[in-house]
Chains A and B, each alone.
Chain A
Amino acid sequence: MESKLMKGGNMKAALAIEDGTFVEGYAFGEEGWVEGELVFNTAMTGYVEALTDPSYAGQILMMTYPLIGNYGVCRKDFESDGVKVEGFVVKELCKNPSNWRSELSVDELLKEYGVPGIEGVDTRALTRKIRIYGAMKAVLATGDYDREKMLKRAVEQPSITELDLVNRVCVDKPVTLNESGKYDVIIIDCGIKMSIARQLLKRDVRVTLVPYNYSADKIMEMNPDGVFVSNGPGDPARVKDTIENLKKLIGKIPLAGICLGHQLIGLALGAKTFKLKFGHRGANQPVKDFETGRVFISSQNHGFAVDEKTLPKNVRVTQINLNDNTVEGLKHEDLPLFSVQYHPEASPGPHDTYFFFDRFVEMLKVY
């Protein structure tokens, strides 16, 4: 009983951060060693959706809410085919989840997908560190770890801006869903969250996912009603193929994007993107919509943003984040094109901005 009570039945684990921080806790999920950018998410619910969100590829995810796993895991809530984070950091992992929908525990989920986690660390202290110094590279290891090695590797590993992550999480060939849909949309898959597709399917859209580097010509050959660029991981500036393809598509066909897709559209329009200090990750981000004057609470997960100052004249900022005034929405004045930085498909998070998909379908109808 002693060992169970004292250690939660787990082996030791540690987290090393590039600034020299080294914290120890207890392991859960798969044993092992992972590297990535340590980021925090402030949502109090939705860890299943977050863990399976491909945008977290290359990142170690830390939840600021201290009790994680309370309601277990329901596979219906997956946003992709499995866990996509590199590692998972929580204050306390729930071993006995309680919810009628739960099929397994977070521990079991991470084991199933070979991802390690650490619990029992002062996540708030780490979050404050990230807030002050920015997102940092980190190593998470379990079992017999070597402190020095971990700290060294935390510094030496490539940064997120040096990694090509999109190709790891997108489809490798076109996949069509809802054959009988009324509208035909091609989604350039950079690591899509399935809720985006689900929202389109609900609106009678036939969706075809194509790999991120699927050429503009091939897309146009498929003669869709519109093209959609998905979310995805990493630095948008590295996804050059997609940017080039988008340049060719702009103006030719109704175009929209979410998150990384939005950044890629921005880059294709000639704007620049920049890395935010620690990003926006949570379900409580206020977005002001200039068209309606309204404020919506949005779900967000991004570390980069489009630089407003570099936008061409004919592109309007339709929405901003009220916390830091960064760009949340773009719209072309003359062409059928708009995009948003946040996640209107929610999952996890508020449903305030589902109307984005209505607008998209509306655009398909008009053009």
Chain B
Amino acid sequence: MPKREDIEKILVIGSGPIIIGQAAEFDYSGSQACKALREEGYKVVLVNSNPATIMTDPGMADRTYIEPLTAEIVAKIVERETPDAILPTLGGQTALNIAVQLGEMGILEKYGIELIGAKLEAIKKAEDRELFKRCMKKIGIDVPKSDTAESVEEALSIAEEIGYPVVVRPAFTLGGTGGGIAYNREELKEITSHGLEMSMIHQVLVEEGVLGWKEFELEVMRDLADNVVIICSIENFDPMGIHTGDSITVAPAQTLSDVEYQILRDYAIAIIREIGVETGGSNIQFAVHPENGRVVAIEMNPRVSRSSALASKATGFPIAKIAAKLAVGYTLDEIPNDITKETPASFEPTIDYVVVKIPRFAFDKFPTADSTLGSQMKSVGEVMAIGRTFEEALQKALRSLETGLYGLELKKNVEKAGLDEVRKNLRYPNADRILYIRKALELGMSVEEIHELTYIDRWFIEKIKNIVEFERYLRKLAGKSNLNEIKNAIIKAKKLGFSDVQLAKIFGVRESEFRALRKKFGVKAVFKMVDTCAAEFEAKTPYYYSTYEEENEAIRSERKKVMILGGGPNRIGQGIEFDYCCCHAVFSLKEEGFETIMVNNNPETVSTDYDTSDRLYFEPITREDVMNIYENEMPEGVIVQFGGQTPLNIARKLEESGANILGTSVDSIDIAEDRERFSELCRKLNIPQPENGIAFSVEEALDIARKIGYPVLVRPSYVLGGRAMEIVYDETSLIRYMEEAIEVSPEKPVLIDRFLEDAIEVEVDALCDGEDVIIGGIMEHIEEAGVHSGDSACVLPPQTLSSEVIEKIIDYTKKMALELKVVGLINIQYAVKDDVVYVLEANPRASRTVPFVSKATGIPLAKIAAKLMCGKKLRELGIKERLKLNHIAVKEAVFPFIKLPGVDPTLGPEMKSTGEVMGIDYDFGLAYYKAQLAAGMKLPEKGTVFISVKKSDREKIVEVAKKLKELGFKILATNGTAKFLKEHGIEAEVIKKISQGRPNVLDAIINRQIDLIINTPSGKGGKTEGYMIRRAAVDYGIPYITTVSGAKAAVTGIEAIKRGKLSVKSLQEYHEELTE
């Protein structure tokens, strides 16, 4: 069937901010969709609230709306754009939910809009547990026994019937939010009441716990002619009971015979037909009993998913792109396979390598969070690695994670664990379980016992045992001098994925020495191609992975080339915004005529899409892996500025190994990162810095703090995302911190800065070519200094800074960029207190805010920076500063608190947010309101506000309370705050503290008698009253604010929304106004 001519304009809905369960994979799928649809000549209107995405680049769609993803807002866009169709299957659960709501609101009917990809009925059948079960019954496919409950009582009686353990799954949520495994009545009560809250339809499914069964996923595609193909099978290393997003997964399935696999394939096809997903990709999960092969269908996603992104990267088959083309009427046989060009997309990819995905967790950021893994997803990112053996892929994936491991090595805590602790960690799944398996084997535990404790298939454990045993053999060999045996052992070790770092440690030499020895032996990495067809056809798309075998397929071209290092796995502090920058570098260098070589290992991203760069290497980002590619490609140089801290961390090592680093020099990077050298620079340039010092010991720290005066800001050097950064108010806390911090990074000292209380934080992104500097944007933070810049909301252009202060900031920025001889981007953070501008830090690299600034101003900073790094000059490119805007852009951070029970949702110097959103309007209040709405915080226009602030904030909150009163809100406060407000002429109703009996504030929250909570934390730690209030706010979805400055901004937002109406406008229109 040819493409449809009856539709012209298509609305694509994105997935919003990066959150646990919904990450960069939807930027990848959405970008693919936009590209594919425009290629076919359709007008594409895109809505997504996330400015860090590639998809929201104004060039990706005809109209791009960076607006909150709520049904009401999308309805406004629909009204304005009147698209013919909506494609809701590429923006995760968010897009599907909005599509369903638009249907329920009658918007689709009113404007005659068709849902393409999946119809409402199909979405409902897949998402509604009861309907899904009925469908499965109809086609004779077994499902776990289950029933839906709308109350705790119902859940209890269902569980009595099917027996514990049971899995509780809320209907219509994201990434398993609110679900859990209950082994007894008490757990069931707790999980169910939470789950009911989380469900959009107040319903949970109570399900037979098929815990320990083998878990498989199939990625299925279907077209309008009812052709169905399976793109990829995925086997979960971690069996049923752990969310697939938190599981180590492997492609293709390893332990299924053809007989068993074909049953799953038949079922998958039957399911996609019965559910009625007309076109596109779906993900279907199965559990298979390890002892008798009984198969049950677990669930189906009637849309592309995280696993689809993984399957696309694992096979080379672009699921999202093909899904978009199928949605507009093409059939699979009409679409060519991009990789072979000559064969059609109507086939099933076959691969000749092993793919391992490992999730990346952020428990180090949330020490109080429960780190046991279960049915609720907790990971924040993932890596993928490809190898010709499972061991190789596994070890490559482990070193891609950047958790300090260079393969299957042990972290300190695992190393030290005794047998009992190992057993416990095997039985209760956690992020380090794979390491505990190694430890268990080292301690002599049998494969069988490990299997019994973990239910992990023996096949996988045997493979880990291969690694452990071979390492043991290598250690024995290390003392010997039989070169031939050593050489053969090194070859075998490399085939098993051992890194040079690991091997150097084993042989007791330095990495560089080992590398030299290895090369002398002629043991070199070769590169093989990912080609969808196991070499049956010639591949036209150069997508490679390294391995140790005979033939190298990555033949260097004669073109001038540049290598770009990506950012690795998403994590807190380093997310999709760096992928945005990397992709822009690629686009820009292509324009300049370079062949672009991308190196990255994050399967969710656009950068690892094989058609983003000219050549893609799916590899860990370590010195060894990068240099292997460098030596194979011999580029002009390598760009380390765009991938966040990941490439920067190895920049010096790369240079030492002979790589040419493009842009700002490694030495300049060092000046910026080395506190002493940086202070010297500031002194030289006469730029004030908060008083500071470096401590290598507790005593030194105490001395420095005494000299500077408390409070002080302390942090280890060389970290991103404010890891382990704290504000310390006294000596006792400092001693405690020093002991913990030194534990965090033993070779690195601790930095101590005077903490500027109540200062305004300002952040600048600028471009420099070594001669000229262009200010990209100046952002004023909403939250005061002390809140990590990644967690603070910010506004561009600044709203409260005087022109003198702004001039000073510009002046400092230019001086610093020139002094550091920056070629490319620099981000500088300032604190402004009493009109004095202090510089806090400078990062001569692309920052987290680059995409936000680029979208707000229309100046593509990353693209320009890449050109500068290749020798272009700002003057030559004709770049003009754009400091004045007609509109106002607000960035707000988005947090994972809802997914992490037990974590206090407060802001501090340690970054906790996973993503960001942007609100644009002509008025600060409206822009801020939009940003809050986009972040999931719908500020109330009326109702009751609960105020409870720490003593030092009382004075400051008066103004806020007064405004709220004027706006017609009722104010509720605990007696201390209420009394204080009364003294200042503000009537506040007193409500009991939790400790004062009942009904208290917690009851009011649960009963939804409170519409907004303003609660500033009193200090660090503990399950205080404040913690319980804030936690309840998160759990019950009540808007809450934890800083005074945030409260002020919120009041402005509420004022604005009461005064005006929300309207929507595309980025292209905003940008047009700027050029007029």
Contact = CB atoms under 8 A, between A and B. Distances in A.
A125 B550 contact: yes
A322 B350 contact: no
Contacts of A122: 549-551
A178 to B, nearest CB: 22
Given A5-B492, A91-B388, 4 more contacts: A44-B252, A65-B252, A101-B260, A124-B549
Contact of B537 (A40, A288, A296, A323): A323
Interface in A91-111: 91-92, 94, 96-101
B550 A96 contact: no
A97 B535 contact: no
Interface string B321-356: 000000000011100000000111011111111100
A215 interface: no
Given A100-B292, A125-B550, A45 B256 contact: yes
B131 interface: no
A282 B549 contact: no
A285 to B, nearest CB: 7
Interface string B284-315: 00000011110000000000000000000000
A295 B458 contact: no
B462 A98 contact: yes
B761 interface: no
Contacts of B292: 100
Interface string B250-275: 00111111111110011000000000
Interface string A290-330: 00011111000000000000000000000000110000000
Contact of B229 (A64, A96, A297, A348): A297
B473 interface: yes
Nearest to A45: B258
B488 A6 contact: yes
Interface string B371-415: 000000000000000001110000000000000000000000000
Contact of B333 (A92, A123, A131, A322): A322
A1 B477 CA distance: 11
A251 to B, nearest CB: 34
A99 B255 contact: yes
A interface majority secondary structure:
loop
Contact of B388 (A2, A45, A66): A66
Nearest to A101: B257
Contact of B462 (A44, A96, A285, A346): A96
B140 to A, nearest CB: 15
A127 B473 contact: no
A43 B549 contact: no
Contact of A100 (B252, B293, B488, B537): B293
A225 to B, nearest CB: 29
Interface residues of A, number: 57
B interface majority secondary structure:
loop
Contact of A64 (B262, B347, B350): B350
Interface residues of B, number: 64
B258 A349 contact: yes
Contacts of B252: 44, 65
Nearest to B460: A98
Contacts of A177: none
Given A42-B533, A70-B254, A323 B352 contact: no
Contacts, number: 179
A263 interface: no
Interface in A130-146: 131
B529 to A, nearest CB: 9
B407 to A, nearest CB: 17
A70 B255 contact: yes
Interface string A30-46: 00000000001011111
Residue among A1, A285, A322, A347 facing the most chain B CB atoms (10 A cut-off): A322
Contacts of B388: 66, 91-92, 124
Given A45-B257, A67-B389, A284 B347 contact: yes
B226 interface: yes
A350 interface: yes
B826 to A, nearest CB: 45
B385 to A, nearest CB: 15
Contacts of A323: 342-344, 347, 537
A100 B290 contact: yes
7 contacts: A42-B533, A65-B534, A285-B347, A322-B347, A323-B537, A346-B262, A350-B265
Contact of B473 (A5, A91, A283, A295): A5
Given A1-B473, A6-B489, A98 B459 contact: yes
Contacts of A43: 258, 350
A355 B756 CA distance: 77
Contacts of A48: 257-258
Interface string A193-204: 000000000000
Residue among B255, B352, B553 facing the most chain A CB atoms (10 A cut-off): B352
A46 B535 contact: no
B344 A128 contact: no
A23 B550 CA distance: 10
Nearest to B1: A293
B538 interface: yes
A220 interface: no
Nearest to A70: B254
A189 interface: no
A164 interface: no
Can you list the 7 inter-chain pairs with the closest CB atoms, starting with the nearest? A46-B258, A125-B551, A98-B459, A64-B534, A348-B258, A284-B348, A45-B258
B1039 to A, nearest CB: 50
Given A284-B347, A288-B333, A131 B538 contact: yes
A66 B353 contact: yes
Nearest to A354: B266
A349 B352 contact: no
A98 B225 CA distance: 39
Contact of A127 (B256, B351, B390, B535): B535
Contacts of B256: 45, 71, 99
Interface string A1-42: 110011000000000000000010000000000000000101
Interface in A313-364: 322-323, 346-351
A42 B262 contact: no
B132 to A, nearest CB: 23
Nearest to B345: A286
A67 B549 contact: no
A123 B254 CA distance: 18
A70 B459 contact: yes
A322 B390 CA distance: 32
B743 interface: no
Given A66-B389, A285-B347, A131 B536 contact: yes
B534 A96 contact: no
B528 interface: yes
Residue among B292, B293, B333 facing the most chain A CB atoms (10 A cut-off): B333
Interface in B5-38: none
B459 A124 contact: no
Contact of B344 (A23, A92, A322): A322
Nearest to A66: B388
A97 B537 CA distance: 31
Given A70-B459, A349-B262, A64 B343 contact: no
Contact of A131 (B266, B351, B528, B537): B537
A216 interface: no
